[in-house]
């Protein structure tokens, strides 16, 4: 549905089309090769599930699993346990696995999701409701399991616990089912799903991966895209003008700060909230690089000598051993403003 911050619709489509190399599940990999976030998320599931059961006085049950075997790309056998997914009664394409099942005072069985996150991401979780993509994930699980309710247990930064009790929402589930049908339509037609306007960096990377071998040819674009073309040209022009204005204003503050590193405004800061208290002009050393293009007579001898160092065809990239001193200007905000920014 385009709301997952970790994976775009296009990435899921590419996976279903077998355009992404098949990887073993995390549990089947040696510990040294596992993704740290996924590994510790799995390790903390038992802790979170146990804590939820203790606080809510309900039974927490791990769903049954069965043993499977799979070979990796090198032909080695791996054994690991997986759940048999719950399949939605009204849409067989919807399948999901719950982290745990819950039995308590509420009617019937519930589903529990366990989320382990870092402190900074944990700040984004409101106290009264879970993040939207997690809510949708849980509603999808409720649709597949037939449960009337579910819960989410979150541990942020290793020491901040939050929990949410969520009721089944049939209207949301209907929307999820419609989106699932629409998505599988793209898979069956072997047609890329459209890029959403709030596309993630991962979606841009996936587009580059899917179309990494361009053909010397011309394609006729849909006339409807002229609106997007005009919008893109307008946005780029705005960015160009804003960057120019940014440099001009920054130069004023750099000149005002001079040889110092911090310039502070009087009376505590700028604006109604006094959140902007000044500007920092920090210094740091940066090691750059120089790219030499072959084919120029005066550089060909250098190119032949350094060609073995790699680089793009016809180019050699040379790292500069002498660091360059750089100064960057950035806003200095009050401690209260910084905390507010993190909580958004």
Domains and CATH numbers, the chain: 9-197 (3.90.320.10), 257-343 (no CATH)
* pLDDT computed for residue 26 by the predictor: 54
* pLDDT computed for residue 328 by the predictor: 81
CB 41 within 8 A of CB 116: yes
Q: What is the mean pLDDT of the chain?
A: 77
- pLDDT tens readout for residues 153-163: 999 888 889 99
- The encoded tokens of residue 51 equal 């804590």
Closest CA to 161 of 151, 153, 149: 153
Between 40 and 74, where is the model more confident?
40
Q: What is the mean pLDDT of residues 176-205?
A: 79
pLDDT tier, 305 (very low <50, low <70, confident <90, very high otherwise):
low
The C-alpha atoms of residue 94 and residue 88 are separated, in whole angstroms, by 5
* pLDDT computed for residue 323 by the predictor: 62
pLDDT tier, 166 (very low <50, low <70, confident <90, very high otherwise):
very high
pLDDT tier, 336 (very low <50, low <70, confident <90, very high otherwise):
very low
Q: What is the mean pLDDT of residues 49-65?
A: 92
Closest CA to 130 of 98, 154, 147: 154
- The encoded tokens of residue 98 equal 């719950």
The C-alpha atoms of residue 256 and residue 281 are separated, in whole angstroms, by 11
**Whether the predicted pLDDT of 180 surpasses 60:** yes
Q: What is the mean pLDDT of residues 246-275?
A: 78
**Whether the predicted pLDDT of 288 surpasses 80:** no
Instruction: Give the N- to C-terminal CA distance of the chain in Å, as an integer.
Output: 22
* pLDDT computed for residue 339 by the predictor: 46
The C-alpha atoms of residue 189 and residue 183 are separated, in whole angstroms, by 10
- The encoded tokens of residue 154 equal 């979150």
pLDDT tier, 294 (very low <50, low <70, confident <90, very high otherwise):
very low
CB 85 within 8 A of CB 143: no
Neighbours of 265 (CB within 10 A): 14
pLDDT tier, 337 (very low <50, low <70, confident <90, very high otherwise):
very low
Strands (DSSP E) found in 159-210: 160-167
Contacts of 303 (CB under 8 A, 6+ apart): 292, 294, 316
Among 53-57, 114-118, 236-240, which range has the highest average pLDDT? 53-57
């Amino acid at each position: 549905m385009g709301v997952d911050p970790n994976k775009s619709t296009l990435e899921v489509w590419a996976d279903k089309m077998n355009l992404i190399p098949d990887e073993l599940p995390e549990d089947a990999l040696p510990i040294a090769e596992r993704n740290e976030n996924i590994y510790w998320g799995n390790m903390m599931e038992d802790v979170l599930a146990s804590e939820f059961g203790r606080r809510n006085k309900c039974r927490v049950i791990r769903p049954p699993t069965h043993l499977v075997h799979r070979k990796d790309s090198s032909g080695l056998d791996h054994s690991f346990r997986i759940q048999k997914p719950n399949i939605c009664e009204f849409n067989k394409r919807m399948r999901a696995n719950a982290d745990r099942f819950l039995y308590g005072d509420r009617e019937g069985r519930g589903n529990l999701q366990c989320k382990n996150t870092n402190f900074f991401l944990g700040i984004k979780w409101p106290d009264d409701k879970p993040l939207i993509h997690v809510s949708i994930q849980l509603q999808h699980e409720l649709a597949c399991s037939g449960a009337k309710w579910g819960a989410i247990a979150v541990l942020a930064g290793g020491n901040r616990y939050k929990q949410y009790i969520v009721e089944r929402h049939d209207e949301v589930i209907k929307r999820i089912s419609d989106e699932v049908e629409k998505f599988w339509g793209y898979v069956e037609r072997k047609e890329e799903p459209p890029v959403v306007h709030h596309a993630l960096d991962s979606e841009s990377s996936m587009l580059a991966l899917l179309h990494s071998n361009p053909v010397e040819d011309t394609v006729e674009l849909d006339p409807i895209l002229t609106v997007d073309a005009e919008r893109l040209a307008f946005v780029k022009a705005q960015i160009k003008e804003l960057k120019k204005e940014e440099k001009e204003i920054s130069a004023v503050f750099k000149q005002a700060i001079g040889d110092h590193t911090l310039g502070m405004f009087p009376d505590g800061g700028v604006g109604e909230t006094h959140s902007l208290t000044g500007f920092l002009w920090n210094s740091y050393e940066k090691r750059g690089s120089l790219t030499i293009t072959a084919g120029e007579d005066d550089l060909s001898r250098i190119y032949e000598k350094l060609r073995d160092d790699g680089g793009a065809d016809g180019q050699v990239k040379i790292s500069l051993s002498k660091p360059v001193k750089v100064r960057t200007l950035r806003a200095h905000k009050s401690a209260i403003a910084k905390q507010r920014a993190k909580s958004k």
